[in-house]
């Protein structure tokens, strides 16, 4: 059993599935090249080998289910390429089923033979999946009602989606015998051990584009006084810069507005006023007319912000080098463009060189590790999680873990 605070979560050692048909929730949501629509990192796809092989070796047949991106975004794509990569890394056939809960998927699941593995299409193609609701409500969703009668059990290995109260995460545990998979088990146990409250300074390097999530994370970190410094990059840095009163120019303000981030300025301001240890870049790397790249001080920005500037890299690196624990999630800039990778790359190098323990998460930052074999596992934890990782470290209760705990009490023990 995994014990987190008052929760008790069964693992594959507590509920042994063999010869069963299982629904396995994984998170293979990966960064996508917006130009080609192809995946640019496969670390999350490789992560589930142990869980899948263990379950297949016990004669189970597996239906893998995952999301990819969010509707409206360029990474909201089908899982066909993911299935090819799963087949390659598992060295077994993972059949892609271009359906989630329709008659074709249900018929294929009914006819599965022992040891077979299939991957359903992007679960967020089903609109219900996008609703954040309690487990009891999701247990009544069409997704759960249509799929659950076809299975003997449910395994949740999607640590990276553990912070979402969505149907494929919290609905199935209410009606099926459920456990955590090996990835979930390892992440939760390792992180609970690594993140020692007595070790400081703790430096968080937070960038990327999921600003609403990051604000929530930062509020938690500040409230619980868990971070000695929070070094901001990406769109989060822009939001805090504006909240501090810096004029980032018309174009950057339009970008923030288009992304619906202006309404978050008061929350960012409140964090700053409450004494949150937020560091804001002193300079940015920007793109100007005709694709010209320049560095500009934060109080004199004229171009479109695409990365942190070199003075900021120097300052942030010195904080990182002195840290005992470094947590990194989300890139400092638009790393899909080679010209704007430098900020993230240099901070990552400083973290790897530092004496501190590095916890790194989020698809984009992990892709910067490039599958490096030189990573010392006693000094670095590469998490499959992004937002889930940060919220777990910030002490928030994760719906996926709560649902597995509840399932054990209500579905397993009462039977």
Ligand X SMILES: O=C(O)[C@H](O)COP(=O)(O)O
The minimum distance between CB 90 and ligand ATP, in angstroms, equals 22
What residues between 202 and 221 interact with ligand X by CB under 6 A? 210
**Residue 173 to residue 391: CA distance in whole angstroms:** 21
Interaction between residue 77 and ligand X (CB under 6 A): no
Interaction between residue 135 and ligand ATP (CB under 6 A): no
234 binds, among ligand ATP, ligand X, none (CB under 5 to 8 A by kind): ligand ATP
Out of 21, 164, 229, 381, which residue is the one contacting ligand X (CB under 6 A)? 164
Stretch of residues binding ligand X (CB under 6 A), selected from 157-165, 175-183, 200-208, 218-226: 157-165
Contacts of 199 (CB under 8 A, 6+ apart): 324, 325, 357
Interaction between residue 29 and ligand X (CB under 6 A): yes
- In the structure encoding, which two tokens stand for residue 71, read together? 């509707």
Annotated binding site for ATP: 336, 362-365
Out of 3, 38, 70, 88, which residue is the one contacting ligand X (CB under 6 A)? 70
Q: Are strands 153-156 and 202-206 parallel, antiparallel or unpaired?
A: unpaired
Q: Are strands 293-297 and 229-232 parallel, antiparallel or unpaired?
A: unpaired
The minimum distance between CB 217 and ligand ATP, in angstroms, equals 11
Out of 173, 233, 387, 399, which residue is the one contacting ligand X (CB under 6 A)? 387
Helix-strand-coil percent breakdown of the chain, rounded to 5?
A: 45, 20, 40
Phi and psi, residue 204, nearest 5°: -105, 130
| Residues 313/261/76/339 CA torsion (nearest 10 deg) | -30
Interaction between residue 407 and ligand X (CB under 6 A): no
**Residue 171 to residue 178: CA distance in whole angstroms:** 11
The minimum distance between CB 365 and ligand ATP, in angstroms, equals 5
**Residue 315 to residue 279: CA distance in whole angstroms:** 10
Out of 386, 391, 398, 399, which residue is the one contacting ligand X (CB under 6 A)? 386
364 binds, among ligand ATP, ligand X, none (CB under 5 to 8 A by kind): ligand ATP
The minimum distance between CB 30 and ligand X, in angstroms, equals 9
Out of 82, 306, 346, 381, which residue is the one contacting ligand ATP (CB under 6 A)? 306
Residue 296 β-bridge partners: 284
Count Cβ atoms below 10 Å from residue 258 Cβ, excluding itself. 9
Contacts of 81 (CB under 8 A, 6+ apart): 38, 39
* Dihedral of alpha carbons 181, 185, 188, 190, sign: negative
Burial of 254 (0-12, 13-18, 19+ CB in 10 A): exposed
Residue nearer to ligand ATP on the CB measure, 336 or 396:
336
Out of 77, 97, 126, 160, which residue is the one contacting ligand X (CB under 6 A)? 160
Out of 61, 122, 161, 350, which residue is the one contacting ligand X (CB under 6 A)? 161
164 binds, among ligand X, ligand ATP, none (CB under 5 to 8 A by kind): ligand X
45, 296, 311 from 367: Cα distances, Å: 12, 27, 24
Residue nearer to ligand ATP on the CB measure, 144 or 394:
394
161 binds, among ligand X, ligand ATP, none (CB under 5 to 8 A by kind): ligand X
Interacting residue ranges for ligand X, rule: CB under 6 A = 27, 29, 70, 160-161, 164, 210, 363, 386-387
Interacting residue ranges for ligand ATP, rule: CB under 6 A = 31, 207-210, 234-235, 305-306, 329-331, 333-336, 362-365, 386-387
């Amino acid at each position: 059993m995994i014990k987190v605070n008052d929760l008790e979560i069964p693992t594959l050692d507590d509920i042994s599935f063999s010869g069963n048909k299982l629904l396995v929730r994984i998170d293979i949501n990966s960064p996508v090249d917006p130009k080609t629509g192809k995946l640019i990192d496969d670390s999350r796809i490789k992560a589930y080998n142990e869980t899948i092989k263990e379950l297949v070796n016990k004669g189970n047949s597996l239906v893998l289910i995952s999301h990819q991106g969010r509707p409206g975004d360029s990474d909201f794509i089908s899982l066909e390429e993911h299935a090819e990569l799963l087949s390659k890394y598992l060295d077994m056939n993972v059949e892609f089923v271009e359906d989630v809960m329709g008659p074709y998927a249900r018929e294929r699941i009914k006819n599965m033979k022992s040891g077979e593995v299939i991957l359903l299409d992007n679960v967020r193609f089903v609109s219900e999946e996008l609703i954040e609701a309690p487990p009891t409500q999701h247990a009544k969703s069409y997704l759960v009602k249509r799929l659950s009668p076809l299975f003997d059990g449910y395994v949740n290995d999607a640590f990276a989606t553990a912070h979402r109260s969505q149907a494929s995460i919290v609905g199935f545990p209410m009606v099926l015998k459920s456990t955590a998979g090996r990835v979930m088990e390892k992440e939760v146990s390792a992180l609970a051990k690594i993140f020692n409250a007595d070790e400081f300074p703790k430096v968080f390097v937070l960038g990327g584009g999921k600003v609403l999530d990051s604000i929530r994370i930062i509020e938690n970190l500040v409230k619980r006084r868990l971070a000695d410094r929070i070094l901001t990059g990406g769109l989060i840095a822009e939001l805090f810069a504006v909240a501090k009163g810096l004029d980032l120019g018309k174009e950057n303000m339009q970008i923030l507005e288009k992304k619906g981030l202006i309404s978050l300025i008061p929350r960012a301001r409140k964090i700053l006023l409450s004494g949150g240890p937020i560091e804001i870049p002193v300079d940015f790397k920007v793109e100007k007319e005709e694709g010209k790249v320049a560095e500009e001080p934060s109080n004199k920005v004229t171009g479109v912000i695409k990365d942190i500037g070199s003075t900021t890299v120097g300052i942030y690196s010195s904080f990182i080098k002195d840290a005992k624990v470094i947590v990194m999630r989300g890139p400092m800039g638009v790393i899909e463009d080679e010209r704007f990778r430098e900020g993230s790359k240099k901070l990552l190098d400083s973290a790897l060189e530092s004496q501190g323990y590095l916890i790194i998460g989020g698809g984009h930052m992990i892709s910067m590790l490039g599958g490096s074999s030189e990573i010392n596992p006693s000094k670095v934890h590469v998490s499959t999680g992004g937002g889930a990782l940060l919220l777990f470290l910030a002490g928030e209760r994760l719906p996926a873990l709560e649902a597995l705990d509840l399932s054990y009490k209500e579905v397993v023990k009462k039977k």
